[in-house]
Structure 1
Amino acid sequence: MSHKEEWVSIQIDAPFIYNEQTTKETEHVWFLFHGYGQLAEHFIRRFDILNPITHHVVALQGLSRFYLDEKYEKIGASWMTRMHRDRDIVHQKKYIEEVVQNRLLSIPSFDVKRNYFAFSQGGATLLRWLVDAQPEVNALILWAADIPTEFTPEDFSFLSEDSKVIYVIGDNDPFRSFLEIEKLKEFIKQLNCKTEIVTFRGGHSVNRPTLKNVLQNHHLI
Structure 2
Amino acid sequence: MNSEKHSLKVERTAHYFTLGEIGRDTKFVWLACHGYGQTADKFIRKFDGLNSNEHFIIAPEGLSKFYWPGVGGIPVASWMTSRDRLMEIEDYVHYLDTLFNIYSNAYHSKTQFVFFGFSQGCATILRYLAHFQPRFSHIILWAGSFPRDIDYRNLQTYFQQGDLHLIYGTQDQYVTTESLDQEKLFLQNQSLTLKTHNFDGDHRVDKKVLMAYLNKILTCKGDL
Q: Give your verdict on TM over 0.5.
A: yes
Residues 34-113 of structure 1 aligned to structure 2 (within 5 Å) = 34-70=34-70, 72-105=72-105, 107=106, 109-113=108-112
Residues 21-32 of structure 1 aligned to structure 2 (within 5 Å) = 21-32=21-32
SS at match of 1:168: strand
Q: Which residue of 2 aligns with 1:175?
A: 174
Q: Distance in 1 between matches of 2:211 and 2:29?
A: 17
Q: Does the CA contact (< 8 Å) of 2:187 and 2:193 recur in 1?
A: no
Aligned residues: 220
Identity %: 27
Amino acid at match of 1:133: F
Q: Distance in 2 between matches of 1:216 and 1:191?
A: 29
Q: Distance in 1 between matches of 2:141 and 2:170?
A: 15
Q: Distance in 1 between matches of 2:177 and 2:189?
A: 21
Q: Which residue of 1 aligns with 2:149?
A: 150
SS at match of 1:157: helix
Q: Distance in 1 between matches of 2:213 and 2:187?
A: 17
Q: Which residue of 2 aligns with 1:166?
A: 165
* TM-superposed deviation, 1:219: 2.9
TM-score by length of 1: 0.90
Change (3 A) 1:179 1:128: farther
Deviation per CA, 1:167-217: give whole Å up to 9, x if none: 011111111249811122344467777641001111100112221121111
* TM-superposed deviation, 1:110: 3.5
Q: Distance in 1 between matches of 2:103 and 2:19?
A: 12
For structure 2, list consecutive stretches of 5 or more residues without a partner in the other structure.
none
Q: Distance in 1 between matches of 2:201 and 2:36?
A: 18
